[in-house]
Chain A
Amino acid sequence: MIWDLVYQTTLRLLDVFNVVVLTYFVVLNIGYFITGLFAFYSLRKYVGRLRSLDIEDLLGSAGMPPITLVAPAFNEEPTCVESARSLLTLKYGDFEVLFVNDGSKDGTLNRMIESFDLVPTFRLPTGQIGTKPIREIYRSRSHPKLWVIDKENGGKADTLNAGLNYCRTPLFCGMDADSLLEREALTRIVRPFVEDARTVAAGGIIRIVNGCTVNEGTVSNVKLPDELVPRFQVLEYLRAFLAGRMGWHEMEATLIISGAFGVFRRDLVVEVGGYATDTVGEDMELVVRLHRHCRERKIPYTIGFVPDPVAWTECPTTLKVLGRQRDRWQRGLIETLWRHRVMLFNPRYGRVGMVAYPYFVFLEMLAPVVEVFGYFTFFVALALGRVSPIFATAFLGVAIGLGIGLSFTAVALEEIGFRRYPKRSDLYRLIGLAIAENLGYRQMTTWWRLRGTFNVLKKTKSWGRMERKGFGPTAPPSTATPPANGPAAG
């Protein structure tokens, strides 16, 4: 009798949970859809703006603020020289490069010394953010804009802070040493700072270099990767940047600037204490902290996203490495949202507190939990015959159909805005991938994110290994194994 009651109650709870999950999926996708609409509007406006203010004109104009590129490197031997060369050939008036070696265990430093004729020199620190000790500072005799700071290993945030301490320009660009910036990327990303002096940070778009041809630090032929895992990531990046961040930018509630490419006002970042070293999501944490700092002190500010300055980055090619990356991203997200939880539904923080923060908490952070348990209970209910065919159709339609729709939206936005994949066959593939990713790949990423959620509870701080192949076909393969908190694309 009692078991029957328990059974009946469980079944009822199962029904209720299924409806809750279905509703959650609907709300989630409506959220994505609204962001996509904002992104569409914003992108159209931006493309029109690009036509009215041409970049050549800006390139030629004086008055562009000097920038320091801070490139943290850990075990980047295969790519460091090509990356540094690429940075030195950027088309921008006044910039210098601080390449910060985070105690690499491979030949990163030696390759840099040999390739750029580095000599030890003194450089006065202008900031006092605490970091691991600096071992030596070098300056290139062949490229005076290039400095290399060699320090003890402390992780990406610590390395960026070390660079920040030696930065002398009003703006700095935080990036990954293994990323390739397009020649005009700095000119393009600095535009918000020129057009609006209240701008405190701006992020550029990250695109995947796997499959593309790289010549002398420049991506010369853009095409989709041959392998399936990186291909899916191309689509994910398009969705995240063009449909996601572009939309948040339009709503003036950008919460994430990728650690692989973002420009910040140096004085303000120093004022807030630099990057947080006790989180694996230091890029998002800094942006949220800047929002909080400016809002609490009533400093007029803007933080935005610019969709055309591109940083090309190598993405994981195996599921194992990808899983670790997604696990870390989820941990970074949760750590940041938990740390600044006071902002949640707090009108003091404006749209950031009232719209973006709840969105990220309920629809991004909790999504893997709800989704995985949702699938589980759905199939349990299906097995118990509790789900009508109509409900099953609705559930799968919402879970998969809307996902396909959102990916199509991202592909369409790319087509409207930039068309960076010139081969028509790549466009066909992207459309195919938008369907295929829902049949397994998306569920895997959800699982990794769920694992990341549990790892936060276990207080895991590991960064995970990132395998690099290098940009050129002849570059030697290597495995970067960051210790406690090593650098990788965020």
Chain B
Amino acid sequence: MIPDRLWAFYLESPGLSLLILGNIVFVAGAFALAAAALVLRIRNDRKAAHWALLERRWEAKAVEVITELERPEAIWALVDRPDALRFLNFLLRFARRLTGAERKRVDELAAPYLDRILPQLKARSAERRARAIQTLTTLGSRRYAAQVLTSLDDRSPLVAMVAARSLARRESPDFAEPILRRLERFEHWRPSFLASMLASIGPAVAPALRAALVDARYQPRVRSVAADALRELNDYLSADAAALVLAEATDRDLLIATLALIGHVGRADQVEMVRRHTEAAEPIVRSRAMSALGRIGSAADGERLVRGLDDPSPWVALRAAEALHEARHPALAAIAASDHPRAPLARQILAGGSA
């Protein structure tokens, strides 16, 4: 009998037997996986064809509804109950192509289906929760603001970020403060990205950002983000706050962001704060101070900027040359025509070759 022989073999070489058995199981599993890949492909192809057909129908009808040739009911009639989430995904993509009144019509089309997404806000998968928030905020106007605000405290930073970005895009000052308060949650996100997110709320966010910039209770990183956002907003009212920070800040990133801010929105009477930092120990701080000086400095700063060309850091020299160019200082042309070691750099900047 074969089982008896197998058993005898097992008793004789148990290690080898288990290995062969494991191998057989693994290879069988692998073949099953290959079969699954095939089945998956066939199923996905069918599904894709079905969705493509469905979306073509929806798109044709959506265009008619949006151009008011048809009433919304005409497209809703084409959406079967199991296809509701798919329909919302379709509208999400469709909405991106539209603005103004047409865009609002898309929100109207989505309205009857949005409540069905709410259970997904409690899904185990962070990705599903994030997707739900994105859909609700994009298609749901302010109707779901409360749920999205709650998601700012979601245990997953990804979900919290999607919520923050979605709220920021609503361009409402009401959301500025809640986002700013939770900015420390996004400690690993790139500051420039966070600043752009905050700036996307619009000028209404500026007072909260100004307050954060000067508030030493916030981490320097948050204050740097606030400074970057204010710069993106070209908020001239933040010049005094920036000068105040430059007078006392020691954190490198905060100094860099604030120098960039004051370079954009500062006034001539604040230039002394900037001059101090042209002598900073860190090359990156000196380089930012040079840039700021080129923007808000006076003719008297020309000599300082020319000295910057000799800075051992190429970054400082580069920014000093750009600053001279920005200040339309005649020294740059003179250096370009001379045998100064930085003459090629001066010529590059004069020719508009700055990166």
CB contacts (< 8 Å) of B7 on chain A: these are none
Please tell me if B118 contacts chain A, counting CB pairs below 8 Å: no
Residue of A nearest to B13 (CB): A390
A123 engages B353 (CB within 8 Å): yes
Whether, in the assembled complex, B148 has its beta carbon less than 8 Å from a beta carbon of chain A, the answer is: no
Q: A401-B27, A412-B33 are in contact. Are A63 and B127 (CB under 8 A)?
A: no
Is the CB of B67 closer than 8 A to any CB of chain A? no
Given the known interface contacts A49-B127, A52-B162, the answer about A412 and B348 at a Cβ–Cβ threshold of 8 Å is no
B20, B27, B34, B162, most chain A CB atoms within 10 A: B34
Complex contact B190–A197 (CB within 8 A): yes
B298 within 8 A of A: no
The CA of A29 and the CA of B130, in the complex, are separated in Å by: 37
B197 close to chain A: CB less than 8 A: yes
Q: Does A52 contact B348, Cβ atoms closer than 8 Å?
A: no
Q: Does A297 contact B (CB under 8 A)?
A: no
Q: At the interface, yes or no: A125 with Cβ under 8 Å from chain B? A: yes
Q: Is A424 an interface residue (CB 8 A)?
A: yes
Point out the residue from B38, B40, B192 that lies within 8 Å of A431, measured CB to CB. B38
Write the chain B residue with the least CB distance to A402: B26
Report yes or no: A415 in contact with B16, Cβ–Cβ below 8 A.
no
Binds A, one of B103-111, B207-215, B310-318: B310-318
Q: Which residues of A contact B29 (CB under 8 A)?
A: 405
- Let me know if A121 and B348 touch, CB within 8 A: yes
Do A126 and B128 form a contact, CB below 8 Å, given A194-B189, A416-B40?
A: no
A4 within 8 A of B: no
Q: Tell me which of A56, A62, A424 has the highest count of chain B C-beta atoms within 10 A of its own C-beta.
A: A62
Q: Are A61 and B347 in contact (CB under 8 A)?
A: no
A26 to B195, CA, bound (A): 52
Distance (Å) between the CB of B340 and the closest chain A CB?
Answer: 13
Residue of B whose beta carbon sits closest to that of A416: B40
Contacts of B127 in A (CB 8 A): 45, 48-49, 51-52
Report the minimum CB–CB distance from A89 to chain B (whole Å): 20
Q: Is there contact, CB below 8 Å, between A63 and B193?
A: yes
Q: Which residues of B contact A64 (CB under 8 A)?
A: 192-193
B300 is an interface residue with CB less than 8 A from chain A: no
Inter-subunit contact B351/A53 (CB<8 Å)? no
Interface 1/0 per residue, A209-250 and B, CB below 8 Å: 000000000000000000000000000000000000000000
In the bound complex, CA of A52 to CA of B154 (Å): 15
Asked whether A401 lies within 8 Å of B23 as measured between CB atoms, the reply is yes
CB proximity of B4 to chain A, nearest CB, Å: 16
**Hey, what's the 0/1 contact readout for B35-64 against A, CB within 8 Å counting as 1?**
011101110110000000000000000000
Given contacts A424-B41, A427-B37, contact A402 B23 (CB under 8 A): yes
A193 to B162, CA, bound (A): 17
B194 proximal to A (CB < 8 A): yes
Q: Mark each residue of chain B from 11 to 23: 1 if its CB lies under 8 Å from any CB of chain A, else 0.
A: 0010010011001
Q: When each residue 288-326 of chain A gets 1 if its CB lies under 8 Å from chain B and 0 otherwise, what string results?
A: 000000000000000000000000000000000000000
A411 nearest CB neighbor, chain B only: B37
B101 at the A interface (CB under 8 A):
no
Residue of chain A at shortest CB distance from B229: A63
Q: Which residues of B contact A123 (CB under 8 A)?
A: 348, 353
CB under 8 Å from chain B, chain A span 399-433: 401-402, 404-406, 408-409, 411-412, 415-416, 419, 424, 427-428, 431
Q: Is the interface of A mostly helix, strand, loop or mixed?
A: helix
Q: Tell me whether B258 is interfacial, beta carbon within 8 Å.
A: no
CB-CB contacts below 8 Å: A75-125 with B: 96, 121-125
The reply to whether B38 and A52 form a contact with Cβ atoms under 8 Å apart is no
Q: Whole-angstrom distance from the CB of B56 to the nearest CB of chain A?
A: 19
**Chain A residue at smallest Cβ distance from B125:** A48
Residue of B nearest to A47 (CB): B127
Q: How far is the CA of A427 from the CA of B23 in the complex (A)?
A: 25
- Separation in Å of the B344 CB from the closest CB of chain A? 4
**Residues in chain A near residue B31, CB distance under 8 A:** 408
Asked whether A398 and B19 contact (CB < 8 A) given A45-B127, A124-B318, A198-B188, the answer is: yes
Query: In B163-207, which residues have CB < 8 Å from any A CB?
Result: 165, 188-197, 199-200
Contact string, A171-208, partner B, CB cutoff 8 A, digits 1/0?
00000000000000000000001111110000000000
| Bound complex: CA A186 to CA B346 (Å) | 32
A394 within 8 A of partner (CB): yes
Q: Contacts A390-B9, A408-B33 known; A63 to B196 CB distance under 8 Å?
A: yes
Query: Chain B contact residues: over half helix, strand or loop, or mixed?
Result: helix
Q: Within 8 Å of chain A (Cβ to Cβ): is B69?
A: no
The reply on A168 being an interface residue by CB < 8 A is: yes
Asked whether A331 is an interface residue with its Cβ less than 8 Å from the other chain, the reply is no
| Complex Cα gap A57–B161 (Å) | 13
Q: Is the CB of A409 within 8 A of B353?
A: no
A139 at the binding interface (Cβ < 8 Å): yes
For chain A, residues 9 to 56, give those with C-beta under 8 angstroms from any C-beta of chain B.
Answer: 22, 26, 29, 33, 45, 48-49, 51-54, 56
Within 8 Å by CB of B96, from A56, A169, A428, lies: A56
Cβ B134 vs Cβ A52 within 8 A: yes
B158 CB contact (under 8 Å) in A22, A52, A394, A419: A52
With an 8 A cutoff between CB atoms, is A393 at the interface? yes
Q: B348 near A122 (CB under 8 angstroms)?
A: yes
Minimum Cβ distance to chain B for residue A411 (Å): 6
Q: Give Cα A96–Cα B40 distance, bound, in whole angstroms.
A: 41
* A434 CB-CB contact with B under 8 Å: yes
Tell me how far the C-beta of A37 lies from the nearest C-beta in chain B, rounded to whole angstroms: 12
Q: Do the beta carbons of B40 and A394 come within 8 Å of each other?
A: no
CA gap between A459 and B355 in the complex, in Å: 42
Q: Which of A22, A122, A401 contacts B353 (CB 8 A)?
A: A122
Q: Which residue of A lies closest to B39 (CB)?
A: A415
Q: Which residues of B contact A402 (CB under 8 A)?
A: 23, 26-27
Q: Which residues of A contact B45 (CB under 8 A)?
A: 424
B27 touches A415 (CB 8 A): no
Contact check, A52 vs B128: say whether CB atoms are below 8 A apart: yes
- Give, as a whole number of angstroms, the nearest-CB distance from A427 to chain B: 5
For the complex, give the distance between the alpha carbons of A51 and B123 in Å.
15
Query: Is B267 part of the contact surface with A, judged by Cβ < 8 Å?
Result: no
Name A124's contact: one of B19, B158, B161, B345 (CB within 8 Å).
B345
Cβ contacts under 8 Å, B197 to chain A: 61, 63
- Contact of B348 with A63 in the complex, beta carbons under 8 Å: no
Which residues does chain B contribute within 8 Å of A416, judged by CB atoms?
40
- Beyond the given A52-B131, A402-B23, please list 20 additional residue pairs across the A-B interface where CB-CB is below 8 A: A49-B158, A51-B131, A52-B127, A52-B128, A56-B96, A61-B200, A63-B192, A64-B193, A121-B348, A125-B314, A193-B190, A390-B13, A401-B30, A404-B30, A409-B33, A412-B36, A424-B42, A424-B45, A431-B38, A434-B34
List 16 contacting pairs A-B, 8 Å CB cutoff, sorted by A. Answer: A48-B127, A48-B128, A63-B193, A63-B195, A63-B196, A64-B192, A124-B345, A126-B315, A126-B318, A195-B189, A398-B23, A401-B26, A405-B26, A409-B33, A412-B36, A431-B37
When A and B form their complex, which 4 residue pairs have the shortest distance between CB atoms, in order from nearest?
A405-B30, A63-B196, A48-B127, A52-B130
The interface of chain A, by Cβ under 8 A from chain B, is 22, 26, 29, 33, 45, 48-49, 51-54, 56-57, 61-65, 96, 121-126, 139, 168-169, 193-198, 390-391, 393-394, 397-398, 401-402, 404-406, 408-409, 411-412, 415-416, 419, 424, 427-428, 431, 434
Residues of B within 8 A of A (CB): 9, 13, 16, 19-20, 23-24, 26-27, 29-31, 33-34, 36-38, 40-42, 44-45, 96, 125-128, 130-131, 134, 158, 161-162, 165, 188-197, 199-200, 232, 314-315, 317-318, 344-345, 347-348, 351, 353, 355
